[in-house]
Amino acid sequence: MTTRRPEDDPGLDGRVAIVTGGGAADDGIGNGRAAALLLARAGTRVLVVDRKLALAERTVAMITADGGTAAAHEADVTDDAQCRDMVRAALDRFGRLDFLDNNVGIGSRGSVVDEEPAVWRRVMQVNVETMFLVSKHAIPAMIRTAGRGAIVTVSSISALRPRGLTAYSASKGAVIALTRAMAVDHGPQGIRVNCVAPGPVYTPMVYGPGMSDAARAQRRRASILGIEGTGWDIGHAVRFLLSDHARYITGHVLVVDGGVTLQSPARDDAAE
């Protein structure tokens, strides 16, 4: 069990979070699983949501083994009714809702000429509409049960530096715009909304389909630090933005990329 002190993560102990996309293959550490584990270590009770219940249950087992409190919930967050029921499940289980980590997303490749309309619509649905739907139900619950709240959305540096992933880049740019709009809309109600923009990070979603040693090395070299990002790096950023350490931060895009965006891009092969 990890020893923690309340002052390490002010405002997290005893709170309740929903983490969407909180599962991962096997014991791999994806962005959502890392955030769920780190929040639980800080004393937050976590509803881990995934389209595949077994993946969420594995995250919950890891949290429980680490001394935290969590529950698994299966939901397709492209569906409005399931998003509503997911929020209700968090309230029924834990009695309140304080935080939301909007972590669901899929990738795509190609220009507007190359991309199929059906793929474009699917990318926009999964990467943008899900964040609208989940937030639509989560924000009123936060206000009603906690009197305030914090949301983190997950975008990508592809929104800031497009590189041959046009539908993906456009969707992640929309996530940033949605983040800022929600921050303006709901700040007066005590809701902070921020965004994490990851660079290339080594997660099951990336290496699951197969990745050569050369491709992995290329991604590592894209960082001016010469190191590889992982799901833990994104999880720590999420935990910071949800905590009271970030109490005066809203509408912000936190780039977590090892300095990748400070250099000229290499197209496609090192895509995040």
168 among known catalytic residues: yes
Q: What is the pLDDT of residue 265?
A: 60
What mean pLDDT is reported for the chain? 92
Q: What is the pLDDT of residues 72-96, one digit of tens each?
A: 999 999 999 999 999 999 999 999 9
Question: In this model, does residue 269 exceed pLDDT 90?
Answer: no
Q: Which one is catalytic: 168, 202, 207, 248? A: 168
- Which tens digits make up the pLDDT trace of 210-260? 778 888 888 888 899 999 999 999 999 999 999 999 999 999 999 999 999
pLDDT at residue 272 tops 50: no
Q: How far is CA 148 from the centre of its chain?
A: 20
Could you tell me which CATH number the domain at 8-255 has? 3.40.50.720
- Residue where the block lists tokens 């619950």: 141
Q: What is the pLDDT of residue 121?
A: 97
Domain boundaries, the chain: 8-255
Instruction: Give the pLDDT score at 5.
Output: 56
Mean pLDDT of 104-117: 92
**Which range among 147-151, 187-191, 231-235, 260-264 shows the weakest confidence by mean pLDDT?**
260-264
**The one-letter amino acid at 168:** Y
As a whole-number percent, the residues of the chain with pLDDT over 90 amount to: 82
Task: Using the predicted structure, report yes or no on whether residue 46 has a pLDDT greater than 80.
Answer: yes
Question: pLDDT value at position 58?
Answer: 97
